[in-house]
């Protein structure tokens, strides 16, 4: 679970970088539109960039939240598993007359 969370964090980082690049390209087109009117091809590209930006932003948010939750759950499971390994639930203890079975509930 911890590995899954870290992997999703990597996907979120990639998606965020892609979203940022699309936003930067869209701002460049918007800056060009202030200088001169855009032709049909530039308008279509602007719409495609906006759609891509929305898609990659959604992917970024979803994978970041899911990855963060998976990391917390994985760390919790790792801590609980480590804690349980410290104290075995059952132990054989040597006594003067033999062995005694000690069980913790």
Residue 68, C-beta contacts closer than 8 angstroms, at least 6 positions apart: 5, 9
Mean pLDDT by 10 residues, the chain (105 residues): 90 96 93 88 92 96 95 89 66 83 73
User: How far is the first Cα of the chain from the last one, in angstroms, to the nearest whole number?
Assistant: 28
pLDDT in the model for residue 85: 62
SS (H, E, C) the chain: CHHHHHHHHHHHHHHHHHHHHHHHHHHHHHHHHHHCCCCHHHHHHHHHHHHHHHHHHHHHHHHHHHHHHHHHHHHHHHHHHHHHHHCCCEEEEEECCEEEEEECC
pLDDT in the model for residue 84: 62
The pTM of this model reads 0.69
pLDDT in the model for residue 80: 82
At residue 5, what are phi and psi to the nearest 5 degrees?
A: -65, -40
Q: Which residue has the tokens 């990855």?
A: 67
């Amino acid at each position: 679970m911890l590995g899954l969370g870290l992997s999703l964090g990597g996907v979120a980082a990639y998606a965020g970088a892609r979203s940022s690049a699309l936003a930067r390209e869209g701002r460049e087109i918007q800056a060009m539109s202030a200088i001169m009117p855009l032709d049909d091809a530039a308008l279509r590209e602007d719409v495609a960039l906006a759609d891509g930006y929305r898609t990659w932003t959604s992917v970024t948010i979803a994978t970041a939240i899911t990855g963060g939750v998976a990391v917390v759950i994985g760390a919790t499971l790792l801590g609980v598993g480590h804690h349980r390994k410290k104290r075995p639930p059952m132990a054989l203890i040597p006594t003067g007359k033999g062995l005694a079975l000690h069980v913790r509930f």
